[in-house]
Structures are given as structure tokens and as C-alpha cells.
């Protein structure tokens, strides 16, 4: 199913399962109709999915279209037919689809929190991640930083010492107060870390950095970069963002999905009970009719 060139033995299996799916389609259409009435075949969304998968299967059988790689993607959709067969999976998928509507407000709340914290980070850390340690071999007590940089521009590069990445630092007018090695100064130079993607220089990059914190995607690297360039006192900012966005909002999303699952499960149980009651009433009516005919 997932191979670009399936084995020849798989063609027989594919024909067998396609025949079974076709027989299922024919039986359902004969019993319920195709599309015109209310309870016909295509009025059920799960049957629409099965019908689409069946059509794509027959299209893939054609030799003229069999070489198109895009059609191989539709082979994966055959596994979705198991959803319509297993009742538990139908409940889960239905609850996920229903939770999408309820998650709209949660998503808006998440975007609002990220935008607010992105604006705060924009004011606190704008341009700080561009400060790097730059080699300055002419640095002496009689030369200030500006004179040193003017006379030592050939060593004004990204790579310092034997490191393949620039050493970030916190800006200070006094070179002795920085965390740079000996004979180097802390200056704003070139792009931001990670090829310019880690940045708080404008709202878009700040929003992306906050999204990294919320999803905890290499957030410790971003934390170390900001703390090194801005100071340890800003660790409270990361604590608040991770607590509210990563823990609270993520758990809120899971809570909404869980509530939707419970509601869908109750609705499914109610439908099952209603069908059982209708079946019992139909049996009672049949029994009364038999008694009437027998008398």
C-alpha cells in the first residue's frame, strides 16, 4: 500500500479487497438507494468516504494513470475504511470533528496570549540577540572599544576561537563587564542566531519565538540565548510564558477535546437506546399482528 512499486503478489490481494468493497457498495445501494432520498447511501458522510476510496482504487487500476505518483497517495485512504467498521473509532473521529468548532475560541485565546507576550518580548529583547563577541587583538588599556574595532576590522568575523558558532554576549559600554573572552569585545554584528530565525526584532519573529516556547520546541536553546544576551533576571518571563501557554492552554485544548468525546459518547449511547426501543416496539407490533391473524 505504501510502496512506490508494490510486489506482484499484492495485485491479487488488491483485487480481492476491491471486490469486497465493491460488493459492499452494491449491497448498500440496493438496500438504501444511492442519493435521492433522506437515508440513501451518499447521505452518510462515512459512505461518501468509502465511495471516494473505491473510485480512486479503480482509477489506480488503469495503466494510463497507474504511473502517476500522486494517485498512490489515495492508497492510504483505504485504511480509513476501518473507521466506519469499528464503532469506537467512529466515536473518536466524530468527537474530534465536533471539537474543532469548540476549539475556535481556545485558538483565539491562544493567539491573543502569544501576541501579548510577543509584544512584551519585542520591547524587552529587540536587537539583543545580535550582540556577539568579536576578536580584537589590538585591545589595550589605552584604546577604547571604538578605536579597537576601527583598527582591527579584519578580525571582525562570526567565528571566534575554535567555535563554529558566534558567541553571544550582553552589551555593555565597558568591555571588562562582558562575558567575552580576552581580547574581544561585545558588539551588535550581522544577523540573529539560527540563520536569523531566532529573533525578537519585529512582531512576526517574536510571535514565532513565543510559539516555540509554547510547543517547547528547543525552548531551552532560546532560553539560554536570551539569558546570555539580556540577563538572568528575565528568566521570570520564560516561566510565565511556559506556565500559561505551554501548560494551561495546552491542557485547555485537551479538556475541550475530552468534553467533546464525552458528549459524542453520550449521543451514541442515546441513539443506541432509541434504536433498541424502536426495535422492541416493532417486535410488539408484530406479535399483536400475529395474534390478530391467528384469532
Phi-psi region of 167 (alpha: psi -120 to 50; beta: other; left: phi over 0): beta
Residue 158, pLDDT score: 41
Least reliable range by pLDDT among 81-90, 118-127, 138-147, 235-244: 138-147
Mean per-residue pLDDT, 211-240: 89
Any alpha helices (H) in 62-86, and if so which ranges? 63-66, 81-85
Q: Are 48 and 35 in contact (CB under 8 A)?
A: no
178's CB contacts (< 8 A; 6+ apart) are 133, 169, 170, 171, 172, 185, 186
Q: SS3 string of 165-192?
A: CCCECCCCCCHHHCCCCCCEEEEECCCC
Whole-angstrom Cα distance, residue 18 to residue 226? 58
How many residues are present in the chain? 295
Predicted local confidence at residue 159, as pLDDT: 42
Q: Which residues pair with 186 in a beta bridge?
A: 133
Range with the largest mean pLDDT of 12-21, 64-73, 169-178? 12-21
Q: Provide the terminal-to-terminal Cα distance of the chain, rounded to the nearest Å.
A: 62
Q: Percent of the chain having pLDDT more than 70?
A: 73
Confidence class of residue 259 from pLDDT cuts 50, 70 and 90? confident
Amino acid at each position: 500500500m505504501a510502496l512506490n512499486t508494490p510486489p506482484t503478489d499484492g495485485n491479487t490481494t488488491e483485487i480481492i479487497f476491491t471486490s469486497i468493497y465493491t460488493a459492499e457498495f452494491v449491497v448498500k445501494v440496493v438496500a438504501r438507494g444511492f442519493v435521492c432520498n433522506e437515508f440513501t447511501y451518499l447521505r452518510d458522510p462515512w459512505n461518501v468516504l468509502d465511495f471516494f476510496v473505491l473510485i480512486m482504487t479503480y482509477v489506480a487500476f488503469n495503466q494510463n494513470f497507474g504511473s502517476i505518483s500522486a494517485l498512490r497517495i489515495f492508497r492510504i485512504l483505504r485504511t480509513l475504511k476501518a473507521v466506519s467498521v469499528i464503532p469506537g473509532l467512529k466515536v473518536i473521529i466524530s468527537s474530534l470533528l465536533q471539537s474543532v468548532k469548540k476549539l475556535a475560541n481556545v485558538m483565539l485565546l491562544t493567539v491573543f496570549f502569544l501576541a501579548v507576550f510577543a509584544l512584551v518580548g519585542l520591547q524587552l529583547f529587540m536587537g539583543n540577540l545580535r550582540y556577539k563577541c568579536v576578536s580584537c587583538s589590538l585591545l589595550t588599556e589605552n584604546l577604547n572599544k571604538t578605536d579597537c574595532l576601527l583598527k582591527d576590522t579584519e578580525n571582525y568575523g562570526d567565528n571566534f576561537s575554535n567555535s563554529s558558532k558566534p558567541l553571544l554576549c550582553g552589551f555593555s559600554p565597558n568591555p571588562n563587564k562582558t562575558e567575552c573572552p580576552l581580547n574581544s569585545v561585545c558588539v551588535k554584528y550581522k544577523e540573529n542566531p539560527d540563520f536569523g530565525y531566532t529573533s525578537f526584532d519585529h512582531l512576526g519573529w517574536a510571535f514565532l519565538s513565543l510559539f516555540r516556547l509554547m510547543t517547547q520546541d528547543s525552548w531551552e536553546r532560546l532560553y539560554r540565548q536570551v539569558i546570555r544576551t539580556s540577563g538572568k533576571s528575565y528568566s521570570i518571563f520564560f516561566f510565565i510564558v511556559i506556565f500559561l501557554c505551554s501548560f494551561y492552554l495546552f491542557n485547555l485544548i485537551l479538556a475541550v477535546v475530552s468534553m467533546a468525546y464525552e458528549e459524542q459518547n453520550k449521543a451514541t449511547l442515546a441513539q443506541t437506546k432509541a434504536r433498541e426501543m424502536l426495535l422492541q416496539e416493532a417486535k410488539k407490533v408484530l406479535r399483536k399482528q400475529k395474534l390478530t391473524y391467528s384469532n
